[in-house]
Amino acid sequence: MKDIARDLGVSVITISKVLRNHPDIGDETRQRVLARVKELDYRPNLAARSLVTGRTYLVGLVVPDLLHPFFAEIAKSLSDVLRESGYYLIVTSSEEDPNLEEQEINHLLARRLDTLIIASCRPTVDLFFRIEKQQTPYVLIDRSLPGLAANFVGVDDDAVGMLATGHLIDIGCKRIAHIRGPETSPSIRRMEGYKRALMRAGLKVTDDYIIAERKGDVGTKQRGSEAMGQLLSLKARPDGVFCFNDPLAMGAMNYALDQGLRIPEDIAVIGCGNLHYDDSLRVPLSSIDQHSRRIGEEAARLVITILNSKTPPKPETVVLRPELIVRRSTQRRAAKLASSKARPRL
């Protein structure tokens, strides 16, 4: 910047103002500066700018697994929306490990990011109080924490459980099992929805029908397969399964099919996530769409709102309504199907 200023016989401050579209500068000077800037292919040092303005124009994203299409889609839509406002995304994965998550968040805090977006696997709220003490705004996505008044964007997981289970009931299932996810709010809520739907239909909740996620996360597809094995070995074999997410459902379906069972005739299966390949599977998979893209977009919108307001606004909660997508894995009685909009995407 000094060089340009010297070359043009103006001050460094003038250059700085031109670069930020400050209205102080006359048109002629502005043009001369811009010309020279382009000539030298000059770009201001954003680290120095951050130092004095206190803003980095960086937003941190912490997810449990970048490979999971659900989080990948969120990352993508987040990145798209934030970019339009000049913010960039620095992503990191917690691998579903609370300690790693803490470590990552600590590092991101040191970088003085403008906001954090977190799909947390932490069981307690202490870490988030620390974040608040640092004055760093944050937005929780997908997973909420009890007793924490924070910005949150996610789907109504209670409704997810009810919708999926209710659908299985509608098509005539009597013994409905549930394969759970990791110990976080979505898994808990979806199970509650599952139980409520059963009770509402006069069916009783059987503990044997609820398969918990194991600790060592071995990869959800294989886990789904194992869980289905467990279910099929029961005396009263279930005739419908609601899986926490689609990879689990894939594994579960594979196992059942390999055992010679028919889906949905012998056992119906429904997942959650509505992933892109659901309609291309051995048996196209019914699922609950949780609007992952919109979660990203809403979170981005929230972030921008927060960063544009002088004083931190009070926490906002965005809860999206899940949507039932019926495919063959639950198409047992054609009569009952009102909304069979299997939307083909990508």
Partner DNA sequence: GTTGACATCGATAACTTTACCGATTATCGT
Partner DNA sequence: ACGATAATCGGTAAAGTTATCGATGTCAAC
Taking alpha carbons only, the member of 146, 151, 130, 140 closest to residue 63 is 140
User: What is the residue-wise DSSP string for 297-323?
Assistant: HHHHHHHHHHHHSSSPPPP-EEEEPPE
25 binds, options its own copies, DNA, none, Cβ within 5 to 8 A by partner type: DNA
321 binds, options DNA, its own copies, none, Cβ within 5 to 8 A by partner type: none
Q: Which residues contact 6 (CB under 8 A, 6 or more apart)?
A: none
Identify the H or E element spanning 49: helix 46-53
For residues 113 and 46, is the Cβ–Cβ distance under 8 A?
A: no
Q: Which two tokens stand for residue 139?
A: 């937005």
Task: State the minimum distance, in angstroms, from the CB of residue 134 to DNA.
Answer: 13
23 binds, options its own copies, DNA, none, Cβ within 5 to 8 A by partner type: DNA
Taking alpha carbons only, the member of 281, 337, 322 closest to residue 167 is 337
Q: Quick one: 206 or 340, whose CB is closer to its own copies?
A: 340
Q: Quick one: 241 or 281, whose CB is closer to its own copies?
A: 281
Task: State the minimum distance, in angstroms, from the CB of residue 22 to DNA.
Answer: 7
Task: State the minimum distance, in angstroms, from the CB of residue 203 to its own copies.
Answer: 30
Q: Quick one: 14 or 187, whose CB is closer to DNA?
A: 14
Task: State the minimum distance, in angstroms, from the CB of residue 57 to DNA.
Answer: 11
Q: Quick one: 19 or 275, whose CB is closer to DNA?
A: 19
**Which residues in this chain contact DNA in the complex, by CB under 7 A?**
1-2, 9-14, 16, 19-20, 23-30, 44-45, 48-49, 51-53
| Cα–Cα dist 251/342, whole Å | 21
Task: State the minimum distance, in angstroms, from the CB of residue 23 to DNA.
Answer: 7
**Which residues in this chain contact its own copies in the complex, by CB under 8 A?**
41, 43-48, 50-51, 56, 58, 65-67, 69, 72-73, 75-76, 79-80, 83, 88-93, 106-107, 109-112, 130, 133-134, 219-222, 247, 250, 253-254, 276-277, 279-282, 344-346
Residues 309, 310, 313, 317: is their CA dihedral positive or negative?
positive
Task: State the minimum distance, in angstroms, from the CB of residue 304 to DNA.
Answer: 18
In the block, residue with structure tokens 């906002």: 316
Q: Quick one: 132 or 192, whose CB is closer to its own copies?
A: 132
Task: State the minimum distance, in angstroms, from the CB of residue 9 to DNA.
Answer: 7
Residues 279, 285, 286, 290: is their CA dihedral positive or negative?
negative
Q: Quick one: 222 or 230, whose CB is closer to its own copies?
A: 222
24 binds, options its own copies, DNA, none, Cβ within 5 to 8 A by partner type: DNA
56 binds, options DNA, its own copies, none, Cβ within 5 to 8 A by partner type: its own copies
For residues 78 and 117, is the Cβ–Cβ distance under 8 A?
A: yes
| Cα–Cα dist 120/300, whole Å | 17
Q: Which two tokens stand for residue 294?
A: 């919109």
Q: Quick one: 25 or 257, whose CB is closer to DNA?
A: 25
Task: State the minimum distance, in angstroms, from the CB of residue 114 to DNA.
Answer: 14
Sheet holding 210-211, edge to edge: 210-211, 176-179, 240-243, 268-270
Q: Which two tokens stand for residue 83?
A: 């970019």
Beta-bridged to residue 286, according to DSSP, are: 270
334 binds, options DNA, its own copies, none, Cβ within 5 to 8 A by partner type: none
| Cα–Cα dist 159/272, whole Å | 12
Q: Quick one: 12 or 236, whose CB is closer to its own copies?
A: 12
